[in-house]
Amino acid sequence: EGPDVGKTVRIDGTQPSRLLVGQGPACDIRLTDRRVSRRHAALDLAGSRVRVVDLGSTNGTFIDGVAVVDAFLRGGETLRLGSTAIRVEPVESARVPALSARTSFGKTVGASAAMRRLYPLCERLAASDVTLVIEGETGTGKEVLAESLHEEGPRRDGPFVVFDCTAVAPNLVESELFGHEKGAFTGAISVHRGVFEQAHGGTLFIDEIGDLDLALQAKLLRVLQRSEVRRVGGDRNIPVDVRVLAATRRNLDQAVQAGRFRDDLFFRLAVARIELPALRDRHGDIEVLANHFWSRLGGAATGLPYETARRFDDHGWPGNVRELHNAVARLIALGNLAPEATAGSGQPNASGRDAFDAVLALDLPLAQARARVVDAFERRYLEHVLNRHGGNVRRAAEASGIARRYFQILRARAKDAG
């Protein structure tokens, strides 16, 4: 029932991510019903049931007349979005294609069904040159996936440049993106190449694209359309050959609907889309990732303590993969001094014990003492891994199992701490 009557969609659990339903260009099931939101709801297979999640729609999602936010369907129900009624029916189970056998893609690690569904799409996107939006909660690994796509693709020998829209002062964003000429404004004492020029021949990853100011969105769209930039204060256009990958924790369709994000820019960016699942939805991956981080961060050869692995598995991980990585790093640094959620049976080595004793002698509050030990561990770890790789930041970051940008942030923080 509705303007799109007759349309049929099959859900078999092999789609790269949940299916979005709405009017927006990023939706897998795109409806023409004007009472349906741009991104109205999401559908996914959960065992033998279909999970329906309303995505903050204007007119709501209803199952057999009952408004729902998150619900499961067994078949036989009627799902109503706006003026559209969708009949949900179980079908005879044909042979479902096997999931990818991969347990990682580049630096992105995961053996869960949720991740293995993504890998075939990742392989195709790595080989292409299209713009791409990576969606997901904070800490799900969007930057690591972007770097993996770069390193598995034809631009792997070119630069991989990261620009975080939330990490630069608003008055400097335009200059950082597009560059500036000497004298363009107060403080512009020399020519500055923006991130597009820096990424020439490679990939530019724009993180938190949803936070970019509307005025700059128009300029970014022009660069994407023309493949050329003009520096602030400049009078000529500079050709650039860059693949752009963007990421956001926001629902960009809602931002478009609210007038906070340009529809034409979203359409230009979202040629392809990947939604990274939250760690809580990656069943079995917590232990896989914890052991991966334990090995990469130099944990004891005996492996991650069993009791710690069990506690990790019971934790909700609201900070996702980043929170898990930090928990493992704390455990390696602090041993039994780590917070209970990450404590294990492993003991720090003698030199670590000396460092602990020095901090304990200061009689600091727990939070401050813990921070001192973690900072000391990070400084020593960075020195060790950089020495092991001859000072090469890229190889050191790869060996550490973290993105280059995060490695450089840690390095800068260690230098400041001195």
Worst-scoring range by mean pLDDT, 143-152, 271-280, 299-308? 299-308
Assess whether 299 and 327 both reside in one domain. yes
pLDDT digits (tens, 9 = 90+) for 328-345: 888 887 765 555 544 433
Worst-scoring range by mean pLDDT, 169-173, 299-303, 349-353? 349-353
How far are the Cα atoms of 173, 218, 225 from residue 222, in angstroms, in the given order?
A: 16, 6, 5
Residue 344 lies in a domain: no
Report the alpha-carbon distance of residue 289 to residue 295 in Å, rounded: 10
Give, to the nearest 10 degrees, the angle between helix 320-334 and helix 285-296: 50
Query: If we measure between CA atoms, which residue out of 190, 168, 189 comes closest to residue 177?
Result: 168
Give residue 89's pLDDT band: very low, low, confident or very high (50, 70, 90).
Answer: confident
Burial class of 94 by CB neighbour count within 10 A (0 to 12, 13 to 18, 19+):
exposed
pLDDT digits (tens, 9 = 90+) for 189-232: 888 899 999 999 999 999 999 999 999 999 999 999 999 999 98
Worst-scoring range by mean pLDDT, 85-89, 275-279, 323-327, 386-390? 386-390
Residue 1 lies in a domain: no
Average pLDDT, the chain: 86
DSSP-assigned states of every residue in 77-105: -EEEETTEEEE------PPPPPPP--SEE
Assess whether 161 and 251 both reside in one domain. yes
Place of tokens 């007119």: 59
Query: If we measure between CA atoms, which residue out of 250, 254, 256, 226 comes closest to residue 240?
Result: 226
Six token digits for residue 282:
């990656």
- 69-73, 239-243, 394-398: range with highest mean pLDDT: 239-243
Answer whether 297's CB lies under 8 Å from 330's CB. Answer: no
Residue 404 lies in a domain: yes
Residue 289 lies in a domain: yes
Q: Domain of 217?
A: 104-275
For range 354-380, the mean pLDDT: 73
Q: Is the pLDDT of residue 104 over 70?
A: yes
Q: Is the pLDDT of residue 239 over 90?
A: yes
Assess whether 218 and 302 both reside in one domain. no
Residue 6 lies in a domain: no
DSSP-assigned letter for residue 171: G
Report the alpha-carbon distance of residue 37 to residue 33 in Å, rounded: 9
* pLDDT value of position 349: 41
Give, to the nearest 10 degrees, the angle between helix 142-151 and helix 119-127: 50
> CATH number of the domain that 290 lies in?
1.10.8.60
Burial class of 210 by CB neighbour count within 10 A (0 to 12, 13 to 18, 19+):
buried
Backbone angles phi, psi at 382, to 5 degrees: -65, -45
Structural domains of the chain, count: 4
* pLDDT value of position 418: 56
Assess whether 131 and 178 both reside in one domain. yes
For range 54-81, the mean pLDDT: 92
Report the alpha-carbon distance of residue 334 to residue 329 in Å, rounded: 9
Worst-scoring range by mean pLDDT, 78-92, 164-178, 265-279, 394-408? 394-408
Report the alpha-carbon distance of residue 273 to residue 17 in Å, rounded: 10
Six token digits for residue 147:
């770097």
Assess whether 74 and 221 both reside in one domain. no
Residue 7 lies in a domain: no
Six token digits for residue 158:
């070119």
Six token digits for residue 352:
């670590």
Report the alpha-carbon distance of residue 115 to residue 98 in Å, rounded: 13
Residue 173 lies in a domain: yes
pLDDT digits (tens, 9 = 90+) for 160-182: 999 999 888 888 899 999 988 88
Assess whether 378 and 300 both reside in one domain. no
Assess whether 42 and 129 both reside in one domain. no
Assess whether 58 and 122 both reside in one domain. no
